[in-house]
Amino acid sequence: MTYQETLNWMFSKLPMYQRQGKSAFKADLTNSINFAQHLNNPQHFINTIHVGGTNGKGSTSNMLASVLQEAGYRVGLFTSPHLKDFRERIRINGIMVSKAYVMSFIAQNKAYLNASGLSFFEMTSAMAFAYFAESKVDIAIIEVGLGGRLDSTNIITPELSVITNIGLDHTQFLGNTLGKIAVEKAGIIKAQVPVVIGKTQQETKDVFKEVAATLQAPIYFADQETQGDFQSDLKGAYQQENIQTALCAIQVLKTKNWKLSNKAIRNGLNNVSKNTGFQGRWQVLKQNPLIICDTGHNKEGLALTMNQLLNLPHTAIHMVFGVVNDKDLETIFPLLPKKAQYYFCKPDVPRGLDAERLQASFIQNGFQGTRYKSVNEAFMAAKKEAMETDIIFIGGSTFVVAEII
């Protein structure tokens, strides 16, 4: 099979949560454990850092990877979802896994994959572990897909676990309170392995402390640690919290004999996008009018993004907006600017919410806007309408941003 044929096979044969939703979610580690054994357990041959949480885990993972790269290490990075190319999910020092490797991995394991009923994410996690082991990385940053306890990545024993924060997202799988969700996220804490918690939250603090104490895992709350004044090229205001989390993680890694100088930390944080290829977080695409895209899509993520957006000087705001069909719109309506002009669209994935339904819900809640047949059509309309002193914001879903970048 060619690379494109390989991708087509993967997307059609392996249930994919990003595209299909709940039917692709596997709340069980059996498949992951069995496939890893089939591959001779590559995850046992690499040093790892495991990063979970509701918001900020992608940014924090990329920050850590960038700092470790600047310190001279060979660094694997596994993240999800991808924006444009599947290979974005698996990188070493910012370079995507080769098409040849993807084709070879699928060809070698196709019979197993056909027989086993693995999900897309279960297969991809295993591919990443195999690639990093074969490539002899010094360390790999592994971002949790969904939850923690039963996530496909949770078959590693890392050098360090990181949990950025807890918000009400994926409640149909993880629970409907912050405490219940924290229990699932805390599933990545391992016996005697230090854990960094990015944000101290009243509803979750005791959950993490209790799990860490039971497992004799040293626990650190990043927002209670004293850290230096470091900036990043990732410019969303919400990145300050992620910088704080990454810095705390770096201090813990230093105690485990990872050599990370202040110069490596500063350069790493200032060159995240360049070093790792990270995109889509408060990304400025153009000036005059200012065009910004951001993949934040849940209540906590959108609250921070909208706060920063509204504080920018502007004459008017144009919102190119689309969501997936399991989005709880009621939770995000209060966060979004009522005075903005909306350009409603459906992201081009099976889970995308129909633009007509999206528009109707928004209009019922006091917003105004027009629906379009595609994300690109909505974006073109916004560019046509916007004056130089306006802002165009593209978001609501990772998939909306992916179609524009």
Question: Residue 140 pLDDT more than 50?
Answer: yes
**How far, in Å, CA of 130 to CA of 244, rounded?**
31
pLDDT per residue over 31-56, tens digit each? 999 999 999 999 999 999 999 999 99
Which one-letter DSSP state was computed for residue 69? H
Residues above pLDDT 70, as percent of the chain: 95
Question: Residue 24 pLDDT more than 50?
Answer: no
Cβ atoms of 132 and 42 within 8 Å: the answer is yes
Mean pLDDT of 77-103: 97
Q: Which has more confidence, 175 or 262? A: 262
* Contacts of residue 212, Cβ cutoff 8 Å, sequence gap at least 6: 189, 195, 218, 219
pLDDT per residue over 358-402, tens digit each? 999 999 999 999 999 999 999 999 999 999 999 999 999 999 999
- Tokens matching residue 109: 């394991």
**How far, in Å, CA of 2 to CA of 192, rounded?**
45
Q: Which has more confidence, 231 or 300? A: 231
Question: Residue 65 pLDDT more than 80?
Answer: yes
Q: What is the CATH number of domain 3-276?
A: 3.40.1190.10
- Tokens matching residue 218: 């040293």
Question: Residue 25 pLDDT more than 70?
Answer: no
Which residue matches tokens 């770096």? 250
CATH domain 283-404 topology = Protein-Tyrosine Phosphatase; Chain A (3.90.190)
- pLDDT at 170 (0 to 100): 54
Residues above pLDDT 90, as percent of the chain: 85
Other C-beta atoms closer than 10 Å to the C-beta of 243 total 22
Cα–chain-centroid distance for residue 115?
Answer: 30
Domain borders along the chain are 3-276, 283-404
Taking each helix axis from N to C end, the angle separating 239-255 and 262-270, rounded to the nearest 10 degrees, works out to: 150
Question: Residue 14 pLDDT more than 90?
Answer: no
Confidence of residue 298 (pLDDT cuts 50, 70, 90): confident
pLDDT per residue over 169-227, tens digit each? 655 657 668 989 999 999 999 999 999 999 999 999 999 999 999 999 999 999 998 77
- Whether the predicted model's global pTM rises above the 0.85 cut: yes
Q: DSSP assignment of 303-355, as one string? A: HHHHHHHHTS--S-EEEEE--BTT--HHHHGGGS-TTSEEEE---SSTTBPPH
Question: Residue 18 pLDDT more than 60?
Answer: no
Which one-letter DSSP state was computed for residue 284? E
pLDDT per residue over 307-316, tens digit each? 999 999 999 9
* Contacts of residue 161, Cβ cutoff 8 Å, sequence gap at least 6: 49, 50, 51, 52, 188, 189, 190, 193, 194, 195, 196, 217
Tell me the CA end-to-end span of the chain in Å, nearest whole number.
28
Mean pLDDT of 144-149: 91
- pLDDT at 238 (0 to 100): 87
